[in-house]
A and B are shown apart, each in its own frame.
Chain A
Amino acid sequence: DAGVTQSPTHLIKTRGQQVTLRCSPKSGHDTVSWYQQALGQGPQFIFQYYEEEERQRGNFPDRFSGHQFPNYSSELNVNALLLGDSALYLCASSFGVGNTEAFFGQGTRLTVV
């Protein structure tokens, strides 16, 4: 049983560019959440998707957007990249919106230069 898988594992982008990160949830899970983890900090909630809709959003600008597909997989898009967007981006999946015992992927390390 595959756990949460994220791609790519590492990415280098230039300021101003756009990036798309991908996540496949653990089998049986229908809810996907995205977190940003800056160096030396805990993960910060970006948003959560359930039934292909954004259900909750953290304190992130509109440059951060997402999508959930019918097979429950999800994408995180970041436009107009800033140096400060460099971080580890974590995807977490769970069954149901209120279930916070989430399973995390290994993350995508994004570096903006």
Chain B
Amino acid sequence: DQQVKQNSPSLSVQEGRISILNCDYTNSMFDYFLWYKKYPAEGPTFLISISSIKDKNEDGRFTVFLNKSAKHLSLHIVPSQPGDSAVYFCAASSAGGTSYGKLTFGQGTILTVHP
């Protein structure tokens, strides 16, 4: 039962353009969402998060949008840079219930930014 899904295994964009990574979830108990970036041979690095009481959170070039009714979130990177090339994971958790204190990850999307 895949509760968090990233349906695009890969995404390729040109430097300077926008990258949009998508994530869908099925568990309505999830109320906190995170994006992690992972380079080869390194552990995931926290990028940005959003609580379910918000629909948008920005941090520099990174913006996360949350659509609770559609159970969908997206990460926008503007402008994209070659150093952003990595695997991006969407993750979710809840403040209570069986998902408390643990992260449920999607399968990841490989982002390649071409110079």
Chain A residues in the interface with B (C-beta under 8 A): 4, 31, 33, 35, 40-45, 48, 55-56, 58, 90, 92, 97-98, 100-107
Q: Which chain A positions have C-beta within 8 A of B44?
A: 43, 90, 104
Stretch touching chain A among B62-70, B71-79, B93-101: B93-101
Q: Which chain B positions have C-beta within 8 A of A106?
A: 41-43
Contacts A42-B6, A44-B105 supplied; 7 other A-B pairs, CB < 8 Å: A42-B91, A42-B105, A98-B95, A100-B91, A100-B102, A102-B103, A107-B43
Number of interface residues of B (CB under 8 A): 25
Task: Tell me, yes or no, whether B89 is within 8 Å of chain A by CB.
Answer: yes
Chain B residues in the interface with A (C-beta under 8 A): 4, 6, 32, 34, 36, 41-46, 49, 89, 91, 93, 95, 100-108
Q: Which chain A positions have C-beta within 8 A of B95?
A: 98
